[in-house]
Amino acid sequence: MIDDAIRVLAGDCTVITDGKDREEYRGRVTTIVKPDNTVLVHDIDGYQPVAWLTRADAVSSDRIDGFSLVATKGTQTLRIATHDQDGFAHYPSSAAGTPVGTCLDCGGALVRSSGVHCVGCGDRYGVPTDATIRDEQCDCGLPRMRVERGLAFNVCLDRACESLDDAVREAFDREWDCPESGCDGDLRILRRGGLIAGCERYPDCETGFAIPAGVVDGACACSLPTFETATGTRCLDATCERQIEETIGAAGDD
């Protein structure tokens, strides 16, 4: 489903802002009300609005004898009253993003912006922020994405078609021992908010580590794997003291 419409109001208007100071403007302006209640009042000059209110708490409008609009946020108020109306309309809107493919349902453009969505019908696909959308297509017709979670996985954009969780689970489920002293459990690949390697003996053992965006490239002194990430090598356990000590020691040797 497409996001809520953008409202556009145009005409000869008086614009009054009340907050710390009171200011009043008069002119032919175009007012844009976005779905998040951000109100922007544009005149002919420059790119910056002559008046605005970001994410107002409330926006009300009246179309009797032209139009009027009142937006409030805390102690701030933005009032717009028309003297001569040029137009008042609602237009469908969506987030704009980088084109990555074609929607299977409606043939509209798939774009990446906080995930991937169709600008035509609004179909959405959640993708990790570090994922790279590839030119290669899945058999279903959607693009594939490359995601690093211990290995580099190439999976379909649609998790119902090819599951990233299943791919990571197949590669690393029970691959590592729980490092907790006295626990002989294996680390399972689980989804708890994000993908984690968590002890199979939960809740008796609550050991668990978020799987970083990177590729396994060795073993830490604590016996857990290390990952090569965009910011350098790190242990699966981001708080691993042995890795920190080794890093400090290596820096001291330089």
What does the longest C-alpha to C-alpha distance in the chain come to? 79
Tally of domains within the chain: 3
CATH of residue 51: 2.70.180.20
The confidence score (pLDDT) of residue 212 equals 95
Whether residue 241 is found in the same domain as residue 176: yes
The confidence score (pLDDT) of residue 238 equals 92
Whether residue 81 is found in the same domain as residue 103: no
Whether residue 179 is found in the same domain as residue 136: no
Whether residue 143 is found in the same domain as residue 222: no
pLDDT in single tens digits along all 254 residues of the chain: 445 789 999 999 999 999 888 999 999 999 999 999 999 999 999 999 999 999 999 999 887 777 899 999 999 999 999 999 998 898 888 889 999 999 999 999 999 998 999 998 889 999 999 999 999 999 999 999 999 999 999 999 999 999 999 999 999 999 999 999 899 999 999 998 889 999 999 999 999 999 999 999 999 999 999 999 999 999 999 999 765 445 444 444 55
Provide the edge-to-edge strand list for the sheet that holds 51-53: 51-53, 39-42, 22-33, 3-18, 76-93, 68-73, 58-62
The two three-digit tokens of residue 160, written as one number: 């119902």
Domain range for 204: 170-253
Whether residue 25 is found in the same domain as residue 86: yes
- Model pTM above 0.75: no
